[in-house]
């Protein structure tokens, strides 16, 4: 499909997802206030449609839509589809959770499209649950819209890590609710899909420490320690590999980042206007909502406010020092929290009149939509800009 046709298709799916999310939230509120069973049934129906539509599009895509589909998704599903349970896990090189999802899917379908569908379900269902939990702060449809514009296409490519990052976000939500069993379950799922979930956990505890009741000297010492660890990341990765504490492929990835002779993931040579656009827009997606939150909702969770900052700092660190945007893979665990901060930019405007609400919503859609269109559709990030049906 052409860029224009693909753009129309994606925007149609985004619109349907947000529309049925909006309808579901209205019925949820109605059920809470009136206890009407019909409202509850409609809320479930609308929620199902809101989740099914984007998952279906993910499952109906060709194997070339998303750079990593042919890299590991099809191979993993084909192995699971032609092997026994024991053989699947003996022969696969993929994480346990991802291989298990492939095997379970293969029991019900022979086409890899079903696996691409279930992979998206594993991402979007937790996102919807998070939107539901934060609906008193931000309308559910705006949280879903932020996910669709900022992360949906990326999940076509970064499939395993998208699941991992979403469950780390859910892990944090349950941490706030002090639901420790659910916290553990979320981390197990996240880790079983991607080893880098450990980084997500580290980021969360870093911001909790910085926002905790510690004296300035302790915080400064901690920050210096983290900086020293980053500077000596190469030596640390080698030590962890020698102690068999870090999987070899991750150690090699880290090693490659430091070696300018290695053709590491998205190595940048000279000025790259695509990456510059991404960096500037990421800065805006960070700065504008946080300034709004500070003025209008100063009581909003400080950890959620700081995590995107930490992710942006890490992304910038890897970009400037090693000329690669490989850091975007790790910063994803922090970036995912922006689905809870970016929509709050709407608080900056008064919305008493219907005209004001339309203007504010149009601005938010345009603000995120411009980033999505340029970065994903024009620059081809994630390799899903040209949609092709199976």
**DSSP codes of every residue in 134-181:** TTTTS-HHHHHHHHIIIIIGGGGTSHHHHHHHHHHHHHHHHHHTT-HH
pLDDT confidence of residue 80: 92
First to last CA, the chain: 12
pTM of the model: 0.89
pLDDT confidence of residue 376: 93
Please give the Cα distance from 60 to 112 (Å, whole number).
Answer: 10
Say if residue 46 is exposed, middle or buried (CB neighbours under 10 Å; 0-12, 13-18, 19+).
buried
The SS3 call for residue 61 is: strand
Please give the Cα distance from 388 to 65 (Å, whole number).
Answer: 7
pLDDT confidence of residue 98: 94
pLDDT confidence of residue 27: 93
The SS3 call for residue 324 is: strand
pLDDT confidence of residue 226: 72
pLDDT confidence of residue 78: 92
Cβ contacts of residue 186 below 8 Å, gap of 6+?
A: 167, 168, 170, 171, 174
Please give the Cα distance from 135 to 77 (Å, whole number).
Answer: 36
The CB-side HSE value for 22 (13 A sphere, CA atoms) comes to 9
Please give the Cα distance from 127 to 90 (Å, whole number).
Answer: 32
Q: What is the pLDDT along the chain (390 residues), one digit of tens a residue?
A: 899 999 999 999 999 999 999 999 999 988 888 888 888 899 999 999 999 999 999 999 999 998 889 888 999 999 999 988 888 888 888 889 999 999 999 999 989 999 999 999 999 999 999 999 999 888 999 999 999 999 999 999 989 999 999 999 999 999 999 999 999 999 999 999 998 898 899 899 888 888 876 677 776 777 777 777 766 666 766 676 666 666 666 666 665 656 655 555 566 666 678 889 999 999 999 988 888 888 888 888 889 999 999 999 888 888 887 777 777 888 999 999 999 999 888 777 766 677 777 778 888 899 899 999 999 999 988 889 999 998
Cβ contacts of residue 390 below 8 Å, gap of 6+?
A: 60, 61, 62, 63, 111, 113
Cβ contacts of residue 9 below 8 Å, gap of 6+?
A: 1, 57, 387
pLDDT confidence of residue 146: 95
Please give the Cα distance from 158 to 238 (Å, whole number).
Answer: 26
pLDDT confidence of residue 356: 72
Say if residue 309 is exposed, middle or buried (CB neighbours under 10 Å; 0-12, 13-18, 19+).
middle
pLDDT confidence of residue 234: 65
């Amino acid at each position: 499909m052409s860029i224009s046709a693909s753009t129309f298709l994606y925007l149609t799916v985004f619109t349907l997802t947000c529309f049925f999310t909006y309808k579901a939230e209205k019925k949820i509120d109605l059920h809470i206030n009136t206890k009407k069973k019909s409202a509850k049934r409609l809320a479930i129906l609308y929620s199902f449609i809101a989740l099914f539509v984007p998952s279906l599009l993910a499952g109906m895509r060709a194997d070339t839509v998303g750079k990593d589909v042919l890299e590991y998704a099809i191979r993993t599903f084909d192995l699971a589809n032609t092997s026994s349970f024991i053989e699947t896990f003996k022969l696969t090189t993929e994480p346990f959770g991802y291989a298990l999802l492939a095997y379970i899917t293969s029991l019900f379908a022979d086409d890899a499209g079903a696996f691409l569908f279930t992979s998206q379900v594993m991402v979007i269902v937790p996102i919807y649950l998070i939107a539901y939990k934060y609906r008193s702060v931000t309308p559910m449809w705006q949280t879903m819209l932020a996910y669709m514009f900022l992360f949906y296409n990326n999940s076509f490519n970064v499939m395993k890590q998208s699941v991992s990052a979403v469950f780390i976000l859910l892990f944090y939500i349950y941490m706030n609710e002090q639901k420790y069993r659910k916290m553990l379950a979320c981390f197990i799922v996240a880790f079983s899909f991607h080893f880098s979930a450990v980084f997500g956990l580290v980021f969360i505890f870093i911001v909790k420490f910085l926002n905790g009741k510690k004296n300035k000297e302790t915080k400064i010492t901690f920050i210096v320690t983290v900086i020293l660890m980053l500077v000596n990341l190469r030596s640390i990765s080698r030590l962890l590999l020698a102690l068999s504490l870090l999987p070899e492929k991750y150690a090699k990835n880290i090693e490659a980042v430091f070696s300018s002779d290695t053709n590491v993931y998205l190595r940048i040579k000279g000025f790259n206007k695509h990456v510059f656009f991404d960096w500037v827009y990421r800065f805006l997606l960070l700065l504008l909502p946080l300034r709004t939150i500070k003025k209008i909702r100063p009581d909003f969770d400080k950890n959620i406010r700081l995590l995107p900052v930490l992710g942006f700092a890490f992304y910038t660190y890897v970009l400037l020092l090693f000329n690669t945007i490989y850091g975007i893979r790790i910063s994803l665990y922090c970036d995912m929290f922006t689905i809870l901060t970016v929509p709050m930019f709407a608080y900056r405007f008064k919305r008493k009149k219907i005209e004001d609400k339309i203007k504010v919503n149009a601005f938010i859609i345009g603000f995120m939509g411009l980033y999505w269109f340029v970065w994903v559709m024009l620059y081809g990030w994630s390799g899903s800009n040209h949609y092709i049906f199976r």
